[in-house]
Homo-oligomer: A and B are copies of this chain.
Amino acid sequence: MPELKIGIIGAGRIGRIHAENIARFIPQVKLEGIADIKLSDEQEAWAKGLGARIVSRDPGDILKDDGIKAVLICSSTDTHADLAIRAAGAGKHIFCEKPVDLSVPKVKAALEAVKKAGVKLQIGFNRRFDHNFARIREYTLAGALGGVHIVKITSRDPEPPPPAYVAVSGGIFIDMMIHDFDMARFQAGSGITEVYASGACLVDPEIGKAGDVDTALVSLKFENGAIGVIDNSRKAVYGYDQRVEVFGSGGAAIADNDLPNTVKISSASGVTGEKPLYFFLERYKDAFINEINAFAEAVLQDKPVPVSGEDGLEDMYAALAAGLSLKEKRPVTIAEIRASYREK
């Protein structure tokens, strides 16, 4: 079997997930190196334990290594674009965690560099690889739903992030709903043309003070004529609520939450089952594996990546449009956002 030799830049939470998944579950990928500018002794031992040949505080050690064909950029968001440009310059294929950057021009610069270098770039929208959501898309592609009319996405976190995080997060649309914009485009099989956002601060007033909302609902129009809606909450007391519904001329497909077990207990007070799996690490465990497998296949078989840099840019436009819509209390087209960056 051909094997993709990769290096990982960034040994934080998501970097570790990818590294361990590759070591355990992804035989077609070989972990050659791990770099983190703040690599701790503990991280160093961990990286060596996984069999990494290069363990370093300098991402350049990964980028300049001839044996490494692809990099996973898992460092902090503000470093994504620069690292992507450097990696492209070094001729490495790139898997980059979302978002590429909070600044559209920097994203565009990275995409330009990738294009020029002729390398592949996949963005880490892992939810497309979820067993439930991928199954819905399969139904749609198989024609089981007919033409898509309505896409509905529910996405609620079990706990809000700390207000300090909220302040630098780019806001709920960039930080949280961007996943759902990507899911919406994926399920609709079509680009978003317009959004209208409602939002409120109902969970934690501190989030409001940080200039953000914690509850949001965005209605969507798609290029293919379908319509849709996404709702987000920063706090669902029953856990991570991740559901998708696609309704079409031939039927509807609905994905419910995953549960830790199927047991239902019938008692004098009702019939009770489990709450959803707690958060994204539990829910999207397999999706993280699947997305790396898909990236490896795209590189090894020279196929298009399933989530391109352009996808990441489109999702960002949708998030920016939602933010503007909320601020100006009007529907905002993606064309308007796109145009605003063309002029700059």
Count of identical protomers in the assembly: 4
A111 to chain B, nearest CB (A): 30
The answer to whether A274 and B271 have CB atoms under 8 Å apart is yes
A181 to chain B, nearest CB (A): 16
Within 8 Å by CB of A261, from B25, B135, B225, B260, lies: B135
Within 8 Å by CB of A267, from B154, B250, B267, B274, lies: B250
The answer to whether B233 and A219 have CB atoms under 8 Å apart is no
Within 8 Å by CB of A200, from B215, B227, B250, B266, lies: B227
Smallest CB gap from A264: residue in B: B254
The answer to whether A219 and B217 have CB atoms under 8 Å apart is yes
Task: Name the B residues within 8 Å of A226 (CB-CB).
Answer: 200, 202
Bits for A224-236, please: 1 = Cβ < 8 Å to B, else 0.
Answer: 0111110101011
Q: Assess whether A258 is interfacial by the CB under 8 Å rule.
A: yes
The answer to whether A229 and B238 have CB atoms under 8 Å apart is no
Task: Name the B residues within 8 Å of A225 (CB-CB).
Answer: 200, 202
The answer to whether A233 and B247 have CB atoms under 8 Å apart is yes
The answer to whether B217 and A228 have CB atoms under 8 Å apart is yes
The answer to whether A258 and B267 have CB atoms under 8 Å apart is no
Q: Assess whether A48 is interfacial by the CB under 8 Å rule.
A: no
Within 8 Å by CB of A202, from B25, B149, B257, B260, lies: B149
A: which residues have CB within 8 A of B?
24-25, 131-132, 135-136, 139, 144-147, 149-150, 152, 154, 156, 196, 198-200, 202-203, 215-221, 225-229, 231, 233, 235-238, 241, 247, 249-258, 260-276, 329-331
